[in-house]
Amino acid sequence: MRISALCAALAVTAVTFAGTVTPAAAEPSASTVTLDAGAGLHHSTGRVIYEHVDGAVNSVKIISVRATGGSADCAWVQWNDPKAGGDGWQSLNSEPGCYGGTVGETLDVVIKAPAGHPLKVRLAAYHADSVDVMHKDIAKL
């Protein structure tokens, strides 16, 4: 009797646990874009972790960004914001990674663009003595 009662209790526990476990497929899957620009003292890198927003046209949730400037550069991660003035790029990170340093930020922000405007990110690196983009790597989200 005790063995059958124990088996029944285990079966009830297993069903309870099975009902609370979420299948892995239901979790949103994040994608990563790795950016690389320049060479030698001017080699900068970046990374963007993001996921597409379900049911939304041209909407991407940026989870985190990281930029590492070359030994002689500062680097930003930017996106092609259709509302941005100037060169059409808007920074995702609040400050650059400079002179071999890395800046990483968790953003959890949604960027949006009208249908037909391809969402892109770029790593923009600037030499210490210039404000012009010297090296860049662009990737589509």
Quick check: 104 and 66 in contact, CB under 8 A? yes
Q: Taking all residues of the chain, what is their mean pLDDT, rounded to a whole number?
A: 82
pLDDT at 21: 42
Q: How far is CA 43 from CA 20, 35, 91, 133, in A?
A: 48, 11, 19, 13
Question: What residues of the chain score a pLDDT lower than 50?
Answer: 1-2, 4-27
Quick check: 78 and 35 in contact, CB under 8 A? no
In this prediction the pTM is 0.75
Listed in sequence order, the residues at least 6 apart from 28 whose beta carbon sits closer than 8 Å to its beta carbon are 51, 54
pLDDT at 7: 41
pLDDT at 59: 93
Share of the chain above pLDDT 90, in %: 52
pLDDT at 28: 60
